[in-house]
Amino acid sequence: MIDISKVNQRYGGTQILWDLDLAIKPGSCTCIMGRNGVGKTTLLKCLMGLLPIESGEILLEGEALHTKPAQFRAPAGIGYVPQGRDIFPTLTVEENLRIGLPIRKDKAKQIPEKIFELFPVLKEMLHRRGGDLSGGQQQQLAIGRALVIEPKVLILDEPNEGIQPNIVQQIGDVILKLNQEEGLTVILVEQKLGFARRVGKEFRLMEKGRVVASDQMANLSEDLIKQYLAV
Ligand SMILES: Nc1ncnc2c1ncn2[C@@H]1O[C@H](COP(=O)(O)OP(=O)(O)OP(=O)(O)O)[C@@H](O)[C@H]1O
């Protein structure tokens, strides 16, 4: 589904991603894990075209993605929930959700009802400004906004950072539903081990800008945790 090969990326003189290889299978839910600063967010930004790569390639269903400017990546079928959410605080919930509508292939004029079934709070808050929502509600809005385009792949960068436990539970339920019942491919950067184990089917461990271990989530051993995740 997504094939990343030999990707190198640098911020000025500092190289962050080193010949990074990563393959994502259709219908999988893959957690990308690793200590702070190993390059997880940088990798997602490269996938979304928000950062240029120096070399290597990124393919989506066999077609080159890395040659497409950022604005063509969502229409190619990638929904992205960035770290820190990045909702538009002065726009209403409805306006935030409508942003993806023009790039839908069917040019739908209405926000799909499914978004409100997944996140009923967004219907209640439809006319409130995004900036007035709680952190957890904003995160639900960011996920809803990414789903409006009906993506083939949903990418989430630490969706539970600073979110209260009951909303973390709800976000987990939604990811599980989308992945297991609807077959949506999910890529999740996640620091919380419990959450990763609950929703992830596979893991990829990163260290120093490379993927150093890949397996089914059930095989994430204490040794690997100690080596690549413990602080
Ligand atoms: N805009 C930037 N300019 C220069 N260096 C950067 C920039 N953004 C990130 N870095 C550096 O790149 C490295 C990787 O950062 P990145 O945010 O991708 O890591 P991460 O694995 O997502 O960590 P975290 O869990 O803290 O978000 C870090 O050393 C970081 O300081």
How far, in Å, from the CA of 229 to the mean position of ligand 1?
16
Total-model pTM: 0.93
Amino acid type, 130? G
Q: Per-residue DSSP letters for 62-93?
A: TEE-TTS-GGGTTTTTEEEE-TT----TTSBH
Mean pLDDT of the chain: 94
CA 32/CA 45 separation, integer angstroms: 13
How far, in Å, from the CA of 33 to the mean position of ligand 1?
14
**Which residue has a Cα nearest atom 11 of ligand 1?**
37
209 lines ligand 1 (CB under 6 A): no
CB neighbours of 11 closer than 8 A, spacing ≥ 6?
none
11 lines ligand 1 (CB under 6 A): yes
Structural domain boundaries, residue 124 = 2-228
Structure tokens at 108: 């739908």
9 lines ligand 1 (CB under 6 A): no
The tens digit of pLDDT for each residue in 14-57 reads: 999 999 999 999 999 999 999 999 999 999 999 999 999 999 99
CB neighbours of 10 closer than 8 A, spacing ≥ 6?
16, 54
220 lines ligand 1 (CB under 6 A): no
Total count of domains within the chain: 1
Q: What is the pLDDT of residue 205?
A: 97
How far, in Å, from the CA of 230 to the mean position of ligand 1?
18
Kindly tell me if the per-residue pLDDT of 104 is higher than 90. no
36 lines ligand 1 (CB under 6 A): yes
User: How confident is the model over 168-192, as a mean pLDDT?
Assistant: 95
CA 99/CA 112 separation, integer angstroms: 13
SS3 19: strand
The domain that contains 87 carries what CATH number?
3.40.50.300
Task: Beginning with the edge strand found earlier in the chain, give each strand of the sheet holding 210-216 in spatial order.
Answer: 78-81, 153-157, 185-189, 29-33, 202-207, 210-216
The tens digit of pLDDT for each residue in 44-99 reads: 999 999 999 999 999 999 999 999 999 999 989 999 999 988 999 999 999 999 99
The tens digit of pLDDT for each residue in 199-229 reads: 999 999 999 999 999 999 999 999 999 999 9
